[in-house]
Structure 1
Amino acid sequence: MSQRGQSNYFPVLTGVRALAAYLVFISHYDYVFDEGFPQWLRRFFHEFHIGVTVFFVLSGFLITYRYYHNFQLSGKWFRQYVKNRVARIYPMYFLLTTGAFIYYYFTHDTSITKNYPSPVGLYFMNIFFARGFFYQLWDTGIAQGWSLTVEECFYFSAPIIFYIAIKYKKFYVQPVIITLTGVLLVLIFRHVNWWGFFGNFTFMMLYTFLGRCFEFFVGIQLALWLLKRGFTRKNNVSFTYIGFGLIFVFVLVMAMLPIPQGWIAGLQHPVGIVLNNYLISSAIGLFFYGLLTEQTAVKSVLSMPFVELLGKASYIFYLIHLGYMYGFLHHAWDWLNERVFDLYGNWGVDWKSPFENDQVNLVYAFIVLNAISIFLFKFIEEPLNHAIRKSGFLIKPTARHQN
């Protein structure tokens, strides 16, 4: 299929968003598998943070596929581009981050501020994505929101990346230069006591765009390949299953690595960084290529309307699955568990409570969080997205709005 005949929207990749968010969810709650599960399997689940890598490769692909052939280095184009990105990312992030700091105001939960002396200043660092450059602050506010700093850096860099690739034919050298810039910043600032601004190499490589740019470039390369060659293939190689298999082979290797002192996962081992940033991202690129050019059972499942809906709501799920909103659910299960046992006491029975098992409670939380995400997507995120696109923010709306 030609590039012009292919829509900019891919239902299967929307379904992939749900898969990515659920992988991250599992990685954050692997501790519930503490009984009856071998240690290596717990470590394997703990490395499912690769869902973030899936998001990064996906962003590189979608931004390139939608904008590469129509971008212009003009104020009008850039304002429309930024408006689209703000409409997609910012409203829910702003609302949920504000909620996190309101929660801090009433609870003084230090997981929100990490003892930063100015909660108000930190709030503005969070809503403007600046906290993601500081090793001591990257997981403040909505902790998992650090990845949005990385995303925003890519969004602003993408037009420049496209321009250099087209005008100067310099594509592959760009991730090298970007990463070396990160290395230089660490060398300059690692001994400066400024809340860990580019404070160490592990932080730079795993939590900043400068270290993780290659993942976006994998997506960029995939988009350029398909824009040039189309979606019709002459071979029957099952890239869907090869890519999927390689992803989890690399994850298993990562799970076997020793965890460096002061860190919490094999990801943070030097070999883990190479596996995650380069090998796993490349395998994800193969997986996406297969999904887009093959008809498989995996594609059929990920393209199902309900899975597509979960994918559309997955951004909200990602933002609420960890932190104060999950904490409310955890306290709710504890409260319900106590009420159930009070009821059993009144009845004079010794039954098991449906809320006493952590693994079952996690399933409840997973279902409820998805329900909340779908509700917020339908009634807040989607309406705000459309409202911003139709508004005069940055630029007056045109008849045709890009995604």
Structure 2
Amino acid sequence: MPTAAPLAPAATAAARAYLPALTGIRAVAAYMVCLHHFNPFAEGPGLGGFLHNLLLEFHVGVPVFFVLSGFLICLRYYGTEQWTGRWWGRYLRNRVARIYPMFLLLTTLTFAPAWLAHAPDTTRLWLLNVTFLRGFFDAHKYSGIPQGWTLTVEECFYLWAPVAFGLLRRRPRLLWLQPLGLLALGCALVLGLGPLAYEGLFGSFRFMLLYTFFGRAVEFYAGMQLALWYRRGLLRAPRGPRGLYTAAGLGLLLAAVLALVAVRGQYPYGQEAPAGIALNNVALPAGIVLLFAGLLTEATWLRALLASAPLQLLGRSSYVFYLIHFGTIKGWLRDYVTASPAGQFVLLNVLAIGLYYLVEQPLNRLLRAPSAAEPAN
């Protein structure tokens, strides 16, 4: 496969730009997932019950992360890919530096009590986690750091993205055939591996659609599509009311969440219902793309808020917050420091900021390829 052609100046400028609102949105997405896990409202009639049902569906913060990853990886790397060991080495080194050190540290800390208690199978489960393989097994997807299953999906996208870029340069009009092909491959894996009944390895179509890259690929490709429009200068603030994209994106997101509430039925969450899978994996990304288009092109109060200094700080530390808001560290804070959910939330943010500056950022800089100049987004 040929090497990539040099980027046009406008595309190069777009690829290297720092986009503060998209850093701030990371914090919002992480807090949505936190509210999904720790719903402050009780079930029942009235406004409180409605808010409880609404926040149950705040797992939609995960699609925000997936669309954002698709956008940023395509924005930074599309057109630079080269089928050489040196390019792959730099690319993978930067991806590992971005997410792996904190994940390895916190995952090992999570398994430490089980090791000390000589719990059986601990080392095997730890290996499944630190290699991201646990995300392919329904029986183990919530082991270790429970929310860490999403990192298996992210890593699959990181490995696939350069291949996707190569295919895209050959057949740019067939962008949306790629996620359909990945979905077909996911179905084949369920049909081939599911009958083995081996710890839930691609154990069902529902698992594949909700918890693997093959089922969630549309979210990443939605971000890639937005990045391609942005790089080519095709995004412009629409004529008409100010903030139209932003308002339309927020409206679609709210409508999708309300629809998830409506289709939940006997399922724990709306995304697990058959119609909810389509809403979560297809309709939500469309709303997120519209919202991101607004953040990129419209001068609104929301963009100003997300670009503010506090949200930049919280956005940069949001990855650590995401890893610690649910699991062992959260449990330690609850058991030994404070039983107050508000107090735990504040302390988790303080700890996340401290770990970002003292551990994550220094290790990121140490491990990154020396010639890389990727923005902090």
Q: 1:383 aligns with which of 359, 362, 374?
A: 362
Cα separation, partners in 2 of 1:236 and 1:106, compared to 1, 3 Å:
farther
What is the one-letter code of the residue matched to 1:212?
R
CA distance in 2, matches of 1:332, 1:243: 41
What is the one-letter code of the residue matched to 1:153?
C
Deviation at 1:362, TM superposition (A): 1.3
Partner of residue 118, structure 1: 121
User: Is residue 56 from structure 1 mapped to residue 28 from structure 2 by the alignment?
Assistant: no
Q: TM-score, structure 2 length as denominator?
A: 0.91
1:67-78 correspondence to structure 2 within 5 Å: 67-78=77-88
CA distance in 2, matches of 1:373, 1:362: 16
| Structure 1 segments unaligned to the other structure (5+ residues) | 110-116, 337-354, 356-360, 391-396
User: Is residue 246 from structure 1 mapped to residue 246 from structure 2 by the alignment?
Assistant: no
Tell whether the 8 Å contact from 1:8 to 1:66 is kept in structure 2 after alignment: no
CA distance in 2, matches of 1:67, 1:154: 13
User: Is residue 156 from structure 1 mapped to residue 159 from structure 2 by the alignment?
Assistant: yes
CA distance in 1, matches of 2:333, 2:41: 15
Tell whether the 8 Å contact from 2:237 to 2:294 is kept in structure 1 after alignment: no
User: Is residue 3 from structure 1 mapped to residue 11 from structure 2 by the alignment?
Assistant: yes
What's the secondary structure of 1:298's corresponding residue?
A: helix
1:358-373 correspondence to structure 2 within 5 Å: 361-373=340-352
Tell whether the 8 Å contact from 2:256 to 2:283 is kept in structure 1 after alignment: yes
Deviation at 1:101, TM superposition (A): 0.5
Counting aligned pairs with the same residue, the percent is 41
Deviation at 1:286, TM superposition (A): 0.5
Q: TM-score, structure 1 length as denominator?
A: 0.86
Partner of residue 16, structure 1: 25
Cα shift readout 1:109-154 (whole Å, capped 9, x = no counterpart): 9xxxxxxx52111111100100000001011000100000000000
What's the secondary structure of 2:196's corresponding residue?
A: coil
Whichever of the two has the greater Rg, that structure is 1
Partner of residue 55, structure 2: 45
Partner of residue 300, structure 1: 304
CA distance in 2, matches of 1:108, 1:46: 36
Tell whether the 8 Å contact from 2:179 to 2:217 is kept in structure 1 after alignment: yes
CA distance in 1, matches of 2:237, 2:11: 14
Deviation at 1:73, TM superposition (A): 1.7
Tell whether the 8 Å contact from 2:71 to 2:225 is kept in structure 1 after alignment: yes
What is the one-letter code of the residue matched to 1:305?
A
What's the secondary structure of 1:9's corresponding residue?
A: coil
CA distance in 2, matches of 1:58, 1:127: 23
CA distance in 2, matches of 1:164, 1:138: 31
Tell whether the 8 Å contact from 1:131 to 1:137 is kept in structure 2 after alignment: yes
Partner of residue 90, structure 1: 100
CA distance in 2, matches of 1:31, 1:136: 28
Deviation at 1:184, TM superposition (A): 1.4
What is the one-letter code of the residue matched to 2:374?
Q
What is the one-letter code of the residue matched to 1:401?
A
User: Is residue 165 from structure 1 mapped to residue 204 from structure 2 by the alignment?
Assistant: no
CA distance in 2, matches of 1:60, 1:326: 29
Q: 1:328 aligns with which of 324, 327, 332?
A: 332
CA distance in 2, matches of 1:173, 1:231: 23
CA distance in 2, matches of 1:45, 1:284: 18
Output the aligned Cα RMSD: 1.9
Partner of residue 203, structure 1: 207
CA distance in 1, matches of 2:334, 2:47: 23
Partner of residue 114, structure 1: none
Partner of residue 6, structure 2: none
Shifted more, 321-330 versus 233-242: the winner is 233-242
